[in-house]
Structure 1
C-alpha cells in the first residue's frame, strides 16, 4: 500500500533546457564595475549553455564587488599569456582610469596571443581600437578572422560554438 505512494525524495527528471552542458572551453571574464552586456541581458548563462566556463579576471579592487557580492578572481593575465584561457569576455562598465587601462591591457594581451575577445557595450569600441578593426554594435567578437558584430544571443551562441569547436 505504501509502495505505491510517491516519495518526496528520489530521482527527479530533468527538463531538456536545464541539462548541464559539459565544459568545452575556459574563457576569462574581465570583472568591471557596473558590468553591462547591453540589451542581451544575461550573457553569462548563454555562454555557459555553449559549454564555456568563465574565469573572473580582476581589473582592480573595485571590480571584484558586484551587486554587494565579492567575487574571487580565478584567472590572471598569466593565464591569457600561457593559453590556459581560450578567449576573453569583456563587458561594458564604468571603471576608473586605472580599471580602464587594466582592461585595455588585458585586451591587448589576448589579441597579441591570438585569443578571441568578445566585447559588449563600451568594450566594443575599446576592442576595435586595440585590434585596429572597425565594428559597431551591442557586442562584437575580435579574432584572427576579423571583427564580427553580435546583435543577439543566437549570433553569440553560433560564434562561441565556433570557438569551442
Structure 2
C-alpha cells in the first residue's frame, strides 16, 4: 500500500489477478493510514509473510513517492528477491522497483506494468499480459 496507490492504465488489476486464482494481501509502506476512493485499506500482510514464504509474489502499485515509502519498498523488494518471488510493479512503482533492484528504469517507463523475475524483466502492456503473468504465479 502506498499513498495515492493506483495501477495506472491497467486499472483494476485485482479483478484480473483474482480471475487467475490470486488474491491481494496489502502491506503498508508507511505508518500513515490509507484510504482509496473513500475506502480504508487495512494492511493484512507484513514483510514477515514474504520472508516466511506465505506470499507467492510482491505487487507494487504506483503512488506518491516519498523517502519513507521508497526505503520500505526497497526492503520489500529485497525480501521478495531473497525468496525468488516475482515482483509485479505498476505506474511509478516500476521505477521504484527498478531502482531497488539496481536496474535502469529509463527503458521501462513506457509500460504500465512490469514483472521483475530474478534477473529477467517482462513488460506488461495490457490486461491480457497481466493475466498471463498472474496465471504463471498462481
Q: TM-score, normalised by structure 1?
A: 0.75
Q: Specify the alignment match of 1:143 in structure 2.
A: 117
Tell me whether 1:92 sits opposite 2:62 in the alignment: yes
Q: TM-score, normalised by structure 2?
A: 0.88
Larger RCO, structure (CA 8 Å, separation 6 or more): 2
Structure with more of its chain in strand, by fraction: 1
1:143 positional shift = 0.7
Change (3 A) 1:52 1:155: same
Count of residue pairs brought into register by the alignment: 134
Q: Specify the alignment match of 1:83 in structure 2.
A: 53
1:116–1:144 contact (8 Å) kept in structure 2: yes
Q: Deviations over 1:109-154 (max 9, x none)?
A: 1112211100001111122222234551211001126110100010
SS of 2:62's partner is coil
1:32–1:63 contact (8 Å) kept in structure 2: no
2:7–2:91 contact (8 Å) kept in structure 1: yes
Q: Specify the alignment match of 1:107 in structure 2.
A: 77
Tell me whether 1:64 sits opposite 2:38 in the alignment: no
1:121 aligned residue (91, 103, 115):
91
Q: CA RMSD in A?
A: 1.6
Runs (5+) with no aligned partner, structure 1 = 1-30
